[in-house]
Each structure stands twice: as structure tokens, then as C-alpha cells.
């Protein structure tokens, strides 16, 4: 099962955060948003199919987030959690930790923003269109 988000990069994408990565529906990004990989997302966690959400709420679920932009692609894998809500209408956040709030889409991610391929990050910083695919198994 998967959900797809379309978004775009921004000149302030730095991908330097050590514990989270984020895609937001916001249409702006300040330099302080060092976890944000893409903006102007066409969907947020609150838009996801209830069956997809239920699958992600299994502690044994494997959740993979793949980001593609300008011919570059990176995937990061983590796990589900019974406390995942998928209710936020603005942002989707992946975390290396076990922390859960209404924005969290994956916990225990293998890496955060700082771990993404630098060619992909550069493309996003150049404003490339991005496709974010979240899959669960």
C-alpha cells in the first residue's frame, strides 16, 4: 500500500537536521527549517486512506519513504507505531526516534534529513519538483 505526495524544493532546503525530515504544504521555507525537504505538498497525512493509516499503526510495519527529484532518488525505511495518528493537515514528518505527534508518518527511520543524498538535496535546493512515495508493508 502506498500514498504519493507531490511537492517542490526551495532555495532554503539544507537538509541538515539529525533526527527528522519533513515535507510540508506551506508555500515558504526559512533557513531555520533545516529538516524540510520539500514545500507546497499537495497532500498531508490527514488526506491518507484509512486503510493505509491502519497498516502504519502496526508496530511490525515497515514504512519506506522515497523522495525523487530531477532524476535523483533516495529511500529511507523505518517502522510503524500504534500511536501514529496521520491527522495533521500541514506536514508529514519522519523521525529517527520513537516520538509521535500528529505529523509523524514513520518512526525509527534509518536516517534523517542530513542522511539524504546530497545530489538530491541540491536538486531540491534548486526548486525541483519532488515526488514523495510512502509505502507500508
Which pLDDT value is given to residue 100? 97
Which phi and psi angles does 107 have, rounded to 5°?
-115, 160
Separation CA 67–CA 134 (nearest Å): 9
What pLDDT, in 10s, does the model give residues 50-98?
999 999 999 999 999 999 999 999 999 999 999 999 999 999 999 999 9
Query: What is the structure's pLDDT at 104?
Result: 98
- Work out the mean pLDDT of the chain and round it to a whole number: 98
Q: Looking at residue 60, what is its pLDDT?
A: 96
Q: Please compute the mean of the pLDDT values over residues 24-53 and round it to a whole number.
A: 97
Cα four-point dihedral sign 122, 127, 131, 133 = positive
Question: What residues form DSSP beta bridges with 60?
Answer: none
Q: In whole angstroms, give the CA distance from residue 83 to residue 40.
A: 26
Q: Residue 15: what pLDDT?
A: 98
Domain residue limits, the chain: 2-136
Give the pLDDT confidence score for residue 92 in this predicted structure. Answer: 98
For 2-136, CATH number out of 3.10.310.10, 1.20.120.420, 2.60.120.630, 3.40.50.1220 equals 2.60.120.630
Percent residues over pLDDT 90 in the chain: 100
pTM score of the predicted model: 0.97
Amino acid at each position: 500500500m502506498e500514498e504519493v505526495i507531490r511537492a517542490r524544493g526551495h532555495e532554503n532546503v539544507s537538509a541538515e537536521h539529525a533526527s527528522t525530515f519533513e515535507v510540508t504544504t506551506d508555500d515558504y521555507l526559512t533557513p531555520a527549517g533545516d529538516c524540510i525537504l520539500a514545500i507546497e505538498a499537495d497532500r498531508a497525512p490527514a488526506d491518507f486512506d484509512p486503510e493505509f493509516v491502519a497498516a502504519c499503526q502496526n508496530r511490525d510495519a515497515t514504512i519506506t519513504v522515497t523522495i525523487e527529484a530531477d532524476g535523483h532518488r533516495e529511500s529511507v525505511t523505518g517502522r510503524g507505531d500504534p500511536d501514529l495518528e496521520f491527522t495533521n493537515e500541514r506536514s508529514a514528518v519522519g523521525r529517527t526516534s520513537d516520538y509521535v505527534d500528529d505529523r509523524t508518518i514513520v518512526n525509527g527511520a534509518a536516517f534523517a534529513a542530513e542522511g539524504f543524498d546530497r545530489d538530491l538535496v541540491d536538486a531540491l535546493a534548486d526548486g525541483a519538483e519532488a515526488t514523495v512515495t510512502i509505502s507500508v508493508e
